[in-house]
Amino acid sequence: MAYSEQVIDHYENPRNVGKMNDSDENVGTGMVGAPACGDVMRLQIKVSDEGIIEDAKFKTYGCGSAIASSSLVTEWVKGMSLDEAQDLKNTKIAEELALPPVKIHCSVLAEDAIKAAVADYKEKQTKK
């Protein structure tokens, strides 16, 4: 299968790889997918007191397109408000990376991951 230049770029130089402290109350973690399906994404965001995403990290088990989708999302969400991040659409990710139809699910997974991370952060805040 031929990959787009954008996918190869993110795959070879993934942005924001890493892990944040899950117990930090400013950190929201989203983990989606399952090993049996061949993709697992863990996406984490660090949110400022003003509700702006200051930092984002990811780790992904999956194909090149899954890795690229999550890498791209961590770049995009930095500086966004939580609402903006939640509105991120998989179609934009798929378009930016020029994903073929069989790889659209990777962009869906990345959208789900950021939504899960935001939801996790919000839940932590209500428990405070």
Residue 122: how many CB atoms within 10 A of its CB? 14
Burial label for 66, CB within 10 Å (0-12, 13-18, 19+), is buried
- Sole binder of another protein in the list 15, 42, 46, 124 (CB under 8 A): 42
**Torsion angle of C-alpha atoms 53, 38, 23, 110, degrees rounded to 10:** 10
67 binds another protein (CB under 8 A): yes
- Sole binder of another protein in the list 16, 28, 39, 117 (CB under 8 A): 39
Alpha carbons 57 and 68: distance in angstroms, whole number: 13
Q: Which is nearer to another protein, 36 or 49 (CB)?
A: 36
Alpha carbons 75 and 114: distance in angstroms, whole number: 12
82 binds another protein (CB under 8 A): no
Q: Please identify, among the stretches 33-41, 45-53, 74-82, 120-128, the one whose residues bind another protein according to the rule CB under 8 A.
A: 33-41
- Sole binder of another protein in the list 10, 15, 41, 56 (CB under 8 A): 41
Question: Which residues would be at the binding site for another protein (CB under 8 A)?
Answer: 3, 11, 14, 17, 19, 31-42, 59-64, 66-67, 102, 105, 108-109, 112, 116
